[in-house]
């Protein structure tokens, strides 16, 4: 949606009323959740010395001009601004608790039930809207990165719809794609939140342990992100508009040599794409073949001063426009928001757009409380599939990409028919000709009915629906030419519809018995997921620009068909909490699940949990009212969670047709490559946690520390098997993984005066992950160089390496000069950095503030599949280390017949392409340590002071921010491969040429409140 | 400032929301609960499982997988390492691992050459067919699956020597299958083929396959001949190492069985019903000649016969040459395998001879490229005849080697669409006429199997050093030849202990058991 549309809406929704006379204001201040009067709150007419204080009934009376701003303050509550009304009628104000004060923090616990933090016997952390949106990220998950101890967030790549991997407290499953937490939006579990408008989020409570999320059952095994969206406040009507515009620039491309150019064997060749030619000499040389008009394109054969590869990329532009309205009255509240996000990617032609609207409301009918929300998101994207930038990694350094853009020109070297080589294609042609487009509509909502049967007993029914309608088209334009220049036009249309229904019926009992508080929750849950995917494709299109399978030549492509997937589950659960004197709490949980994906004899399973917390500063008289220790809690928990990560229909081997089948009436079905196991059982994760939360010096310093142990057994995963078994993988119930975790976080209000604030925060986690057992043997391959090895962290990087003599010298084969390879692969280390540190700083001076978020991870390794390709193509820097001449391999030796090793002094290694190609295949040359330290977010905000806004009545608040992400990064000295955070195919520490290279963004945000 | 009629807005929205949206959902939810079978939704609605597939629905897929590997992967590697193919200067980067004998490159999981993986997958298809056939008592299918398993196990040994046999293909029952010696697997594979022939012959009439047998259309005799020919190939392969007694005993078994070998006009060809539609063309045509748009492929532009190969045809005034390749300015011009130098004027695309297809032959079939829907050769009659000729030359079978040799050449002429009458003149040359030497037989076999079953050229070279074609110009040293494939990285990742037990598997150092 464009800005002008938003403005139109804005005008529709507004009417300006003007008042001039001073009147008496009669106000009643109430507490938001209980509705009880709040005595002792101060009310001040902003910008004036006029103040008043609410009496014991919460009432106040004062003089003010209608339209003036009244500021209401009360310790422990969020300060509120309201507009003075135009008459003397009683005016109600609802004050909200300030959750920043730890002892009173309310967290959103399982099932969306608000719980006092002090009761909770597990690690939780709340990230507020402001902190989440510091970098104005488009995907709310990105905004969480490095802000929560034990939470790890990785980007996949830099496309216009980047995927995110999120893992809380280490890997629990050997199944790579089953380590994500459950996402719960306003109490309803949803499969995805990446398209949620981050500005709609009031807060995200991260429930780190399976214990906190126990009532969500299996899906809660990896922790939960409890997202609370904004609601309106009674008595305050607000309109907010904000615009964020940022620019993205590609950086951190894999390093390449700039000394030798195109050719083979040291000889220049104008049609070669590889860099095995002579040394750059500054001459002008033929580039490609003669053009039809008889001209011979030429290129300066010299090392460019800049990285020419960046010429493929452009400056991306990200624009977000947000508009929200909120308000409420005695019995109802509402929150409406509209957001439009448009992204122009760093690859020319790539773009996406997301338009979303949310309506949250609540209404009370006597004892029945209802709340409901609906969220509609329309997302579309159009982008290039993997490939265009790969050509640049393997092409000569002197290619000037700016001259290759106009590929339609029939007389240009950019034309695919005339491109200088036919081993790779013009990246700009690939960008234009191969497209993936997608339109997605997500409709997501819930309705919740809560009836208070007696003051201590209520019943709640919550029904959530999540549905997405996805239409995708992958296309490749027909281009008639010979050989590799030819493109047979193809198109695939995919319709994917997904619906989830999730219902919970919950009985909630609360009773105070003497000094004991008790609460009991009994619940029942059903879940039903339905998916239908229809794919229709054609691999030989009639016309270059008509992308419809109907206008094809020959038959539909082999993938055409449809697929239905159904998943269902039922559960019953209960939770019992008792508290003694409001300082000692004990919680017991239990849940039994039934799932559709297992054989009927295995499909139900039960799992229990227990947790306790002790608020010792309340319990120990000497600590009560201490000025040093304002809050102190220790907690511990134990629980076991069952989990089934199996996809539907995995108990049998399904057959499909390939290799051209069916040929007319001749069918040919062949089995899948995964060995099925019909007797798969649920897997179980047992975890134990102990920790403390302290608040010191009037809540100026917070500390939280915990130790967590988790043990996952009998895992369900697709283990890679020897291909001699006939299968490439086997579904097994095997393997045991443990995690030993230490998490620390410190947050300090270093400065807190009227004009200045300085807040520093630090979170640290060390996750010691270890594979304890595997199904068979001591090692399982997971994906390419990624392994699970008994006794090592998962996933482990194993690479082929040189044979080394006892002194560590590389052994050279004296007859060829090539290094000898070691018999077995070498283990380098964990592909996930076990150490993680997040550091935040926020400084405010009057109306100017600066916030910075730093992220550091270390102790891991990464593998890049780009590097071997660069070796082969001669673009890797190592290939020029010896001027492409024969050389004596440094620190090498020769093995004598008697088994002794002597220093290699005279066997030369050939410095030619075959040799370096071999070197590129030695995988230890392709791995580096993945340590990094980066400035993830920087935000500089200027709030317009009230004095500047006092001349008018329309704008109440306004601010301007400058923001940037990934502004700098320090990597391990050996790492010239890319951003260590990026991952591929759910495999940590694996860098692929399929990823669009990393980018950084910088821009501004304007925020106006009406 | 106030929002106009905010409460109205809220109520209206809420009402329509409820009506449109949630009432049907609640209804559906309640209905779902009413069903007892709420959880019984785990039967696959999308794809068949083995229980509901007939053997006739899976057998064609297995046969096509077999022949695709033969004419695709194996034929390609054999053509490069058997002296047939090189590349143009433009295609200098192609097949780089093969040209440099880069063993680790070829075993790589990411960019390697997966003969092991492809073969075991195809072997699994036959294993499952065998299991189901055994259950159903379908002897024809059980026998055919055994013969094809034997065929592929023999092939695997030729690449990797020691491999899993008894413990292979059983999923997690043997998750890390133990290897057996190449020699042992050879014996067991030959026995398995014998069993398969017996099974098929015992299949009651009316239980035979029909058109789903895309190889022999249910003809048991041809299957038996095929099985015997594969066995003969295995015996010929051991000519330099095995005791004569074993070979004679096996020949005796073949004679007792009685069906003989594939003879004139009895090539084992797979024809599933290729169509001129994307993905359904004859794969050799689609890869090495023209795609569905009738545009020539990159392989067609860059793969060229070696100079040595052309010379051998020319030395013999071989009439097949003109059917095989397109002359450039009246001359047949080839390339050098593994040439590291770019030399467009000698070895460029436009100055060297590509294969001849109908488009270069006035619409008539070429020697190798006949039509986009031509059948694929699994084992040719002329290969069978050359194998018999060699066996006869060695005295293993009683037939006359000369007539087998001549029949083989004639059969090759016929396959390559060379006029019959040209044979007499051809055979009258001293360079062709049979003189009792093995070299003649192997050279003619090499000239006949060109780009059809090229892998046999590399096999014969490793066995006999014949024919003596030039080494790759990018061989790590002039005496290094590719002797095998290294165990693949996938196997090192999953079954390393077994791999290490087999010792050195270096591509240019470790020999297959039957190699000299």
Regarding whether B162 and B192 lie in a shared domain, the answer is: yes
CB A164 within 8 A of CB A173: no
- Per the CB < 8 Å rule, is A372 touching B17? yes
Of B9, B92, B120, which is closest to A723 when you measure between CB atoms?
A: B120
User: A238, A569, A725: which to substitute to probe chain B, counting the most B Cβ within 10 Å?
Assistant: A725
Residue B28, chain A, CB below 8 Å: the answer is yes
Q: Where are the beta strands (DSSP E) in A96-223?
A: 106-108, 114-116, 124-128, 151-155, 164-168, 182-185, 188-190, 201-207
A123 CB-contact burial (10 Å; exposed 0-12 / middle 13-18 / buried 19+): buried
Q: Rounding to the nearest 10 degrees, give the CA dihedral for residues A691, A696, A699, A705.
A: -20
φ, ψ (nearest 5 deg) of residue A900: -80, 160
User: A722, A790, A800: which to substitute to probe chain B, counting the most B Cβ within 10 Å?
Assistant: A722
Averaged over A913-927, what is the pLDDT? 93
Instruction: Identify which of A8-12, A753-757, A935-939 has the greatest average pLDDT.
Output: A935-939
Averaged over B423-435, what is the pLDDT? 96
Higher-confidence residue: A10 or A898?
A898
Q: Is pLDDT above 50 for A431?
A: yes
Regarding whether B222 and B87 lie in a shared domain, the answer is: yes
Q: Output the pLDDT for position B15.
A: 47
Domain annotation covers residue A997? no
Domain annotation covers residue A73? yes
Residue A955, chain B, CB below 8 Å: the answer is no
Question: Given pLDDT bands bounded at 50, 70 and 90, which one contains residue A491?
Answer: very high
Q: Is pLDDT above 80 for A86?
A: no
Which of A 123-182 lie inside 8 A of B, CB atoms? Answer: none
Averaged over A836-852, what is the pLDDT? 93
Range of the domain at A27: 17-95
Q: How far is B310 from chain A (nearest CA, A)?
A: 24
Q: Is pLDDT above 50 for B315?
A: yes
Q: Is pLDDT above 80 for A111?
A: no
Largest Cα–Cα distance in chain B?
110
For residue range A797-807, list pLDDT tens digits in order: 999 999 999 99
C-alpha A344/C-alpha B474 separation (Å) is 47
Length in residues, chain B: 516
Q: Is pLDDT above 80 for B3?
A: no
**Where is the domain boundary, B314, B336, B360?**
B360
Domain annotation covers residue A365? no
Domain annotation covers residue A33? yes
Which residues in chain B are closer than 8 Å to A653, comparing Cβ atoms? 49-50
Higher-confidence residue: A859 or B493?
A859
Averaged over B257-279, what is the pLDDT? 95
- The residues, any chain, with a CB within 8 Å of residue A638's CB and separated by 6 or more, are A211, A609, A610, A611, A686, A687, A688, A689
Share of chain A above pLDDT 70, in %: 95
Regarding whether B192 and B314 lie in a shared domain, the answer is: no
CB A437 within 8 A of CB A381: yes
Domain annotation covers residue B47? no
Which whole-number Å values give the CA distances from A91 to A33, A81, A329, B9, in the listed order?
Answer: 18, 13, 10, 22
Domain annotation covers residue B269? yes
Cα nearest neighbour of B68 on chain A: A659
The count of structural domains within chain A is 2
Q: Output the pLDDT for position A528.
A: 94
C-alpha A650/C-alpha A680 separation (Å) is 10
**DSSP state at residue A945:** P
Domain annotation covers residue B197? yes
Q: Is pLDDT above 80 for A242?
A: yes
Q: What is the CATH number of the domain that holds B193?
A: 1.25.40.390
Question: Given pLDDT bands bounded at 50, 70 and 90, which one contains residue A63?
Answer: confident
CA angle A594, A592, B40 (to 5 degrees): 10
Query: Which has the minimum average pLDDT: A93-107, B139-153, B179-193, B494-508?
Result: A93-107
Domain annotation covers residue A43? yes
The count of structural domains within chain B is 2
C-alpha B306/C-alpha B303 separation (Å) is 9
Q: Is pLDDT above 80 for B9?
A: no
Structure tokens at A83: 């507009």
Residue B87, chain A, CB below 8 Å: the answer is no
Q: Output the pLDDT for position A212.
A: 65
For residue range B284-307, list pLDDT tens digits in order: 999 999 999 999 999 999 999 999
The answer to whether the peptide bond before residue A662 is cis (omega within 30 degrees of 0) is yes
CB A318 within 8 A of CB A138: yes
Range of the domain at B264: 55-274+477-501
Cα nearest neighbour of B49 on chain A: A654
CB A580 within 8 A of CB A515: yes
**Where is the domain boundary, A906, A929, A952?**
A929
Instruction: Identify which of A87-96, A400-409, A905-914, B374-383 has the greatest average pLDDT.
Output: B374-383
**Where is the domain boundary, A910, A929, A948?**
A929
Domain annotation covers residue A22? yes
Domain annotation covers residue A851? no
Q: Is pLDDT above 60 for B2?
A: no
- Per the CB < 8 Å rule, is B172 touching A777? no
Averaged over A385-401, what is the pLDDT? 88
Average pLDDT, chain B: 92
Of B46, B177, B295, which is closest to A486 when you measure between CB atoms?
A: B295
Q: Given the structure tokens 């006359």, which residue do they identify?
A: B400
Domain annotation covers residue A57? yes
User: A369, A490, A724: which to substitute to probe chain B, counting the most B Cβ within 10 Å?
Assistant: A724
Averaged over A377-403, what is the pLDDT? 90
> 3-state DSSP call for residue A174?
coil
Domain annotation covers residue B406? no
Which of B 225-264 lie inside 8 A of A, CB atoms? Answer: none
- Per the CB < 8 Å rule, is A671 touching B124? yes
Domain annotation covers residue B345? yes
Of A17, A673, A725, which is closest to B174 when you measure between CB atoms?
A: A725
Which of B 169-198 lie inside 8 A of A, CB atoms? Answer: 169-172, 174-177
Q: How far is B482 from chain A (nearest CA, A)?
A: 15
Q: Are strands A786-789 and A779-783 parallel, antiparallel or unpaired?
A: antiparallel
Average pLDDT, chain A: 89
DSSP B385-436: HHHHHHHHHTTSS-S-HHHHHHHHHHHHHHHTT--TTHHHHHHTSTTTS--S
Cα nearest neighbour of A782 on chain B: B493
Residue A62, chain B, CB below 8 Å: the answer is no
Q: Is pLDDT above 80 for A18?
A: no
**DSSP state at residue A120:** -
Q: How far is B443 from chain A (nearest CA, A)?
A: 31
Question: Given pLDDT bands bounded at 50, 70 and 90, which one contains residue A391?
Answer: confident
Q: How far is B258 from chain A (nearest CA, A)?
A: 32
Q: Which of A901, A896, A923 is nearest to A808 (CA)?
A: A901
- Per the CB < 8 Å rule, is A660 touching B274? yes
- Per the CB < 8 Å rule, is B177 touching A722? yes
Largest Cα–Cα distance in chain A?
108
Q: Are strands A810-812 and A892-895 parallel, antiparallel or unpaired?
A: parallel
- The residues, any chain, with a CB within 8 Å of residue A549's CB and separated by 6 or more, are A491, A492, A493, A536, A537, A538, A556, A557, A560
Q: Which of A447, A375, A382, A464 is nearest to A193 (CA)?
A: A375
CB A821 within 8 A of CB B487: no
Q: Which helix (H) or strand (E) holds A612?
A: strand A604-615
- Please report the ipTM that was assigned to this predicted complex: 0.90
Question: Given pLDDT bands bounded at 50, 70 and 90, which one contains residue A13?
Answer: very low
Regarding whether B121 and B181 lie in a shared domain, the answer is: yes
> 3-state DSSP call for residue A109?
coil
C-alpha A222/C-alpha A171 separation (Å) is 9
Structure tokens at A254: 């894999």
Q: Is pLDDT above 60 for B462?
A: yes
CB A277 within 8 A of CB A260: yes
**Where is the domain boundary, A42, A69, A95?**
A95
Q: Output the pLDDT for position A75.
A: 66
* DSSP bridge partners of A356: A339, A377
Q: Where are the beta strands (DSSP E) in A347-489?
A: 351-365, 368-383, 434-454, 457-476
Domain annotation covers residue B416? no
Q: Output the pLDDT for position A109.
A: 66
Averaged over B431-441, what is the pLDDT? 96
CB B150 within 8 A of CB B194: no
Q: Output the pLDDT for position A110.
A: 65
Domain annotation covers residue B459? no
Q: Which of A1007, A822, A26, A912 is nearest to B473 (CA)?
A: A912
Q: Output the pLDDT for position A66.
A: 78
For residue range A217-240, list pLDDT tens digits in order: 788 888 889 898 988 876 668 899
Of A14, A267, A363, which is closest to B342 when you measure between CB atoms?
A: A267
Q: Is pLDDT above 70 for A151?
A: yes
Q: Is pLDDT above 70 for B21?
A: no
C-alpha B177/C-alpha B170 separation (Å) is 9
- Per the CB < 8 Å rule, is A563 touching B212? no
Long-range Cβ contact pairs of A899-902 (< 8 A, separation 24 or more): A901/A805, A901/A806, A901/A807, A901/A809, A901/A811
For residue range A673-685, list pLDDT tens digits in order: 999 988 899 999 9
Q: Is pLDDT above 90 for A107?
A: no
Q: Is pLDDT above 70 for A34?
A: no
Domain annotation covers residue B127? yes
Q: What is the CATH number of the domain that holds A64?
A: 2.60.40.1120
Averaged over A550-564, what is the pLDDT? 92
Question: Given pLDDT bands bounded at 50, 70 and 90, which one contains residue A76?
Answer: low
Regarding whether B269 and B301 lie in a shared domain, the answer is: no
């Amino acid at each position: 949606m464009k800005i002008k549309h938003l403005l139109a809406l804005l005008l529709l929704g507004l009417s300006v009323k003007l008042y001039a006379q001073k009147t008496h204001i009669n106000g009643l201040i109430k507490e938001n959740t209980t509705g009880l009067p709040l005595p002792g709150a101060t009310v001040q007419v902003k910008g004036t010395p006029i103040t008043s204080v609410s009496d014991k009934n919460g009432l106040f009376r004062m003089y003010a001009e209608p339209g003036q701003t009244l500021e209401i303050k009360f310790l422990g509550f969020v300060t509120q601004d309201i507009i003075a009304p135009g008459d003397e009628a009683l005016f109600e104000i609802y004050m909200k608790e300030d959750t920043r004060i730890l002892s009173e923090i309310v967290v959103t616990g399982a099932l969306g039930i608000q719980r006092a933090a002090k009761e909770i016997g597990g690690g939780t952390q709340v990230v507020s809207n402001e902190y989440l949106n510091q970098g104005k990220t488009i995907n709310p998950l990105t905004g969480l990165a490095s802000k929560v101890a034990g939470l790890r967030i990785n980007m996949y790549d830099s496309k216009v719809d980047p995927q995110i991997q999120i893992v809380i407290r280490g890997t629990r499953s050997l199944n790579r794609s089953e380590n994500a937490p459950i996402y719960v939006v306003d109490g309803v579990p949803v499969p995805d939140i990446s398209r949620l408008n981050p500005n709609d989020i009031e807060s995200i409570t991260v429930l780190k342990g399976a214990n906190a999320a126990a009532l969500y059952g299996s899906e809660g095994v990896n922790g939960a992100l409890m997202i609370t969206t904004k609601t309106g406040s009674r008595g305050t009507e607000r309109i907010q508009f904000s615009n964020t515009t940022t620019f993205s620039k590609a950086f951190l491309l894999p390093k390449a040599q700039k000394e030798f150019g195109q050719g083979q064997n040291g000889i220049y060749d104008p049609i070669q794409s590889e860099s095995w030619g002579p040394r750059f000499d500054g001459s002008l040389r033929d580039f490609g073949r003669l053009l039809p008009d008889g001209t011979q394109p030429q290129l300066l054969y010299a090392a460019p001063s800049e990285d020419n590869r960046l010429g493929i990329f452009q400056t991306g532009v990200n624009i977000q426009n947000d508009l929200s309205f909120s308000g409420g009255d005695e019995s109802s509240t509402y929150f409406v928001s509209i957001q439009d996000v448009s992204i122009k990617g760093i690859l020319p032609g790539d773009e996406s757009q997301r338009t979303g609207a949310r309506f949250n409301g609540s209404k009370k009918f006597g004892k029945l409380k209802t709340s409901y929300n609906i969220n509609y998101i329309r997302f579309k994207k159009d982008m290039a599939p993997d490939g265009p930038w790969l050509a640049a990694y393997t092409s000569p350094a002197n290619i000037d990409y700016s001259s290759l853009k106009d590929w339609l020109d029939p007389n240009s070297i950019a034309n695919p028919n005339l491109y200088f080589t036919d081993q790779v294609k013009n990246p700009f042609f690939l960008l234009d000709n191969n497209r993936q487009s997608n339109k997605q509509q997500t409709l997501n909502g819930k309705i919740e009915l809560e009836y208070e049967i007696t003051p201590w007993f209520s019943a709640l029914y919550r029904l959530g629906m999540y549905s997405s309608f996805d239409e995708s088209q992958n296309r490749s334009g027909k281009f008639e030419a010979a050989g590799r220049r030819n493109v047979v036009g193809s198109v695939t249309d995919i319709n994917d519809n997904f619906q989830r229904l999730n219902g919970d019926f919950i009985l909630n009992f609360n009773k105070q018995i003497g000094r004991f508080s008790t609460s009991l929750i009994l619940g029942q849950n059903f879940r039903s997921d339905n998916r239908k995917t229809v794919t229709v494709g054609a691999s030989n299109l009639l016309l270059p620009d008509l992308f419809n399978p109907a206008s094809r030549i020959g038959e539909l492509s082999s993938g055409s068909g449809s697929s239905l997937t159904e998943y269902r589950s039922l559960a019953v659960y209960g939770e019992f909490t008792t508290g003694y004197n409001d300082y000692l709490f004990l919680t017991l949980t239990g849940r039994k699940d039934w799932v559709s994906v297992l054989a009927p004899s295995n499909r139900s399973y039960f799992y229990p949990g227990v947790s306790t917390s002790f608020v010792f500063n309340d319990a120990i008289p000497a600590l009560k009212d201490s000025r040093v220790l304002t809050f102190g809690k220790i907690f511990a928990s134990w629980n076991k969670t069952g989990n089934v990560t199996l996809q539907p229909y995995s108990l049998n081997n399904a057959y499909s047709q390939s290799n051209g089948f069916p040929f007319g009436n001749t069918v040919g079905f062949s089995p899948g490559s995964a060995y099925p196991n019909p007797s798969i059982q649920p897997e179980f994760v047992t975890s134990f946690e102990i920790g403390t939360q302290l608040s010191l010096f009037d809540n100026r310093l917070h500390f939280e520390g915990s130790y967590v142990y988790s043990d996952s057994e009998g895992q369900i995963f697709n283990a890679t098997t020897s291909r001699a078994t006939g299968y490439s993988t086997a579904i097994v119930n095997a393997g045991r993984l443990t995690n030993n975790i230490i998490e620390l976080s410190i947050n300090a209000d270093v400065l807190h005066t009227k004009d200045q604030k300085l807040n520093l925060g630090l979170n640290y986690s060390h996750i010691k992950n270890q594979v304890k057992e595997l199904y068979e043997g001591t090692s399982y391959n997971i994906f390419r160089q990624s392994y699970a090895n008994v006794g090592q962290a998962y996933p482990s990087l194993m690479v082929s390496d040189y044979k080394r003599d006892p002194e560590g010298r590389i052994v050279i084969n004296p007859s060829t000069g090539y290094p000898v390879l070691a018999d077995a692969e070498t283990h380098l280390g964990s592909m996930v950095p076990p150490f993680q540190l997040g550091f935040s700083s926020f400084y405010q001076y009057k109306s100017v503030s600066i916030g910075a978020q730093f992220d550091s991870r270390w102790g891991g390794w990464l593998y890049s599949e780009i590097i071997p390709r660069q070796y082969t193509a001669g673009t890797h820097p190592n290939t020029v280390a010896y001027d492409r001449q024969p050389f004596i391999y440094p620190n090498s030796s020769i093995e004598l017949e008697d088994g002794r090793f002597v220093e290699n002094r005279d066997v030369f290694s050939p410095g030619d392409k075959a040799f370096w190609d071999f070197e590129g295949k030695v995988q230890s040359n392709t791995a580096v340590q993945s340590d990094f330290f980066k400035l993830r977010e920087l935000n500089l905000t200027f709030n317009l002071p009230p004095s500047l806004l006092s001349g008018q009545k329309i704008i109440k608040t306004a601010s301007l921010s400058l923001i940037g992400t990934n502004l700098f990064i320090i990597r391990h000295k050996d790492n010239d491969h890319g951003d260590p955070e990026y991952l591929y195919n759910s495999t940590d520490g694996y860098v692929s040429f399929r990823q669009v290279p990393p980018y950084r963004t910088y821009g501004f945000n304007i925020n106006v409140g009406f | 400032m106030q929002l106009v009629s905010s409460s109205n807005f809220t109520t209206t929205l809420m009402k329509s929301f409820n009506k449109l949206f949630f009432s049907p959902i609640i209804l559906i939810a309640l209905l779902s609960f009413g069903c007892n079978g709420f959880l019984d939704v785990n039967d696959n609605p999308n794809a068949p499982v083995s229980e509901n597939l007939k053997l006739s629905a899976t057998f064609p897929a297995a046969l096509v997988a077999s022949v695709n590997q033969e004419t695709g992967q194996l034929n390609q590697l054999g053509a490069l390492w058997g002296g047939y193919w090189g590349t143009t200067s433009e295609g200098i980067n192609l097949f780089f691992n093969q040209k440099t004998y880069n063993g680790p490159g070829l075993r790589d999981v990411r960019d390697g050459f997966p003969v092991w993986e492809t073969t075991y997958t195809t072997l699994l298809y036959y294993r499952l067919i065998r299991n189901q056939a055994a259950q159903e008592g379908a002897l024809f299918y059980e026998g055919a699956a055994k013969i094809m398993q034997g065929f592929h196990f023999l092939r695997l040994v030729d690449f990797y020597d020691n491999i899993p046999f008894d413990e292979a293909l059983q999923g997690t029952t043997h998750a890390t299958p133990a290897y057996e010696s190449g020699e042992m697997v050879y014996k067991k594979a030959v026995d398995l083929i014998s069993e398969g022939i017996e099974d098929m012959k015992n299949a009651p009439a009316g239980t035979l396959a029909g058109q789903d047998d895309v190889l022999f259309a249910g003809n048991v005799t041809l299957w038996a001949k095929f099985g015997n020919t594969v066995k003969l190939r295995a015996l010929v392969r051991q000519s330099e190492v095995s005791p004569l007694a074993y070979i004679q005993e096996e020949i005796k078994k073949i004679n007792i069985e009685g069906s003989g070998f594939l003879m004139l006009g009895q090539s084992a060809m797979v024809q599933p019903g290729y169509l001129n539609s994307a993905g359904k063309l004859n794969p050799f045509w689609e890869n090495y000649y023209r795609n569905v748009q009738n545009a020539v492929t990159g392989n067609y532009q860059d793969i060229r016969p070696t100079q040595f190969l052309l010379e051998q045809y020319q030395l013999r005034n071989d009439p097949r040459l003109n059917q095989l390749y397109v002359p450039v300015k009246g001359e047949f011009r080839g390339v050098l395998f593994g040439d590291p130098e770019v030399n467009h004027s000698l070895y460029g695309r436009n100055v060297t001879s590509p294969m001849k297809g109908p488009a270069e032959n006035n619409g008539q079939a070429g020697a190798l490229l006949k039509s986009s829907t031509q059948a694929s050769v699994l084992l040719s009659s002329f290969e069978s005849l050359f194998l018999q000729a060699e066996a006869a030359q060695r005295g293993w079978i009683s037939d006359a080697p000369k007539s087998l040799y001549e029949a083989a050449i004639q059969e090759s002429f016929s396959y390559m669409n060379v006029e019959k009458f040209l044979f007499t003149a051809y055979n009258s040359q001293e360079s062709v006429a049979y003189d009792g030497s093995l070299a003649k037989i192997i050279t003619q076999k090499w000239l006949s199997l060109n780009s059809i079953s090229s892998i046999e050229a590399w096999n014969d070279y490793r066995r006999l050093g014949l024919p003596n074609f030039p080494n790759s110009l990018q061989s790590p040293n002039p005496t290094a030849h590719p002797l095998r494939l290294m165990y693949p990285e996938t196997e090192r990742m999953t079954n390393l202990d077994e791999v290490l037990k087999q010792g050195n598997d270096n591509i240019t150092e470790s020999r297959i058991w039957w190699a000299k």
